[in-house]
Amino acid sequence: MLETNKRAAVKFGIDTELIETKADTEKNIRVLGNDLTFIGVREKDRTKHVHRLHPYLGKFIPQLVEVFLKKYFKMGDTILDPFSGSGTALIEANVLGINSIGIELSPFNVLIQKVKTKKYDIPEVEKEIKDALRRLKVFSKQLTTGEQTLFGDEIKRFETDSEYLKTWFSDRALQEIFFYKSIMTDYKNQDILKIIISRSTRSARLIPHYDLARPKKPVRETYWCIKHKRYCEPVKEALKFINRYSYDTIKRLKEFNKIRTDAFIKIYQGDARTIKLPDDFKIDGIFTSPPYVGVIDYHEQHRYAYELFDFPRLDDLEIGPAKKGRNGNAKKEYMEGIIHVFQNGSKYLKDDASIFVVANDKFNLYPEIGKQCGFELIDIFNRPVLMRTERDSNKYFESIFYFRKV
């Protein structure tokens, strides 16, 4: 391992011998110039600029993408990510001057990607975000103090038919969320406001502070908080999150705007098994992290956003969702889905294109998947998944499969 990472590992109590045994860090350093542990990468760098614009369970660390794109692609090349998720690979490619194409099934995930990657008039965006926040603060004050409006009227209350929203949020939080939603159409950059309110809605749920990623049920009573080491109260408002994330969004958009390049980013919503891309696309390679077998229900993790914005749900088209488990039929169906994705994408790849697949392949499926797609397996790099942002004790190893189109 790199010395800086060894020192960081000691600090965090991480077993370096296990990592070096299972990941072959010396090989990673020799071939890639990086041991792929990223132990010494600080949290703020793991979630730099727009990568933290909205939480997303299961995304890969941007530094991993950077290592492989720098090593195997060059400025002006074009890569494809057929499982583009929250857009990590697309963003890292752009910073390096590499063109990128993303395919994503979930309409909400596509919104996240588009907001992260669009080039904005930053002063205009900042003005609109702050104005929407100002109006919300006026509404919230009237809501909590019982003040009348400027014209002496009672403030408008919002109703919803969503049992989910009524179950998982306090009345005050829901009123603030729905007011903010009601004014979004007054602004040009309303998609950014959607992301701010979605991120805030996620945080404003009636859940423990330490369990944002996979809450099981709402919490309405005082509870012992593992995160803060004290008794905490359930969240009663959305305003404080909307305030925090409004300024954070402005900051992150400014940061990415300073380093982005003119490399294009094209995003397509659809099923990567069947979607048709323009015939003139000539793609130099793939860098992607497909869903793992039976781990995440990708639509369900953002249910609050689907309920709030009425996005169409395409759960039945997900590959390898948690709800289908990990039995033999689930693994067979998963393999078939992944193979169809790569076969469809392969039509747009140049000869000898490089394909990189990041996967926790505990069932040893990907060598056979690559073979059935007509890909030659060139190498496999292994790495530990550490320092995760989700509060999750699970530590595991993942592989980066390096294939070549033949």
Is residue 150 very low, low, confident or very high in pLDDT (cuts 50, 70, 90)? low
**How many CA atoms lie less than 13 Å away from 128 in the CB half-sphere?**
21
Mean pLDDT of 346-350: 97
Q: Residues 193-213: pLDDT tens digits?
A: 999 999 999 999 999 888 887
Taking the C-alpha atoms of residue 172 and residue 176, their distance in angstroms, rounded to an integer, is 6
- Alpha helices (runs of H) in 187-297, residue ranges in sequence order: 190-203, 239-259
According to the model, what pLDDT value does residue 164 have? Answer: 95
Over residues 240-285, the pLDDT tens digits come to: 999 999 999 999 999 999 999 999 999 999 999 999 999 989 999 9
β-strand pairing of 396-405 with 375-385: antiparallel
| pLDDT at residue number 396 | 80
Over range 327-335, report the average pLDDT.
Answer: 96
pLDDT band at 393 (very low <50, low <70, confident <90, very high): very low
Q: Which residue has the higher pLDDT, 87 or 397?
A: 87
What would the two tokens of residue 344 be?
């469809």
Is 404's pLDDT higher than 60? yes
- Residue 201's pLDDT is 97
Q: Where are the domains of the chain?
A: 105-130+160-269+293-321
Of the pLDDT bands very low, low, confident and very high (cuts 50, 70, 90), residue 346 is very high
Confidence of residue 392 (pLDDT cuts 50, 70, 90): very low
18/140 Cα distance (integer angstroms): 52
**In this structure, what DSSP letter does residue 367 have?**
H
Distance CA 289, CA 278 (A): 23
CA distances from 305 to 51, 289, 320, 321, 329 (A): 18, 23, 22, 19, 31
The pLDDT value given to residue 18: 80
Cβ atoms of 398 and 383 closer than 8 Å: yes
Cβ–Cβ contacts within 10 Å for residue 342, how many?
25
Dmax over CA atoms of the chain, in Å, equals: 73
DSSP letter, residue 83: T
List 402's β-bridge partners, or say none: 356, 379
Helix (H) or strand (E) holding 296: none
What is the rounded average pLDDT for all residues in the chain?
93
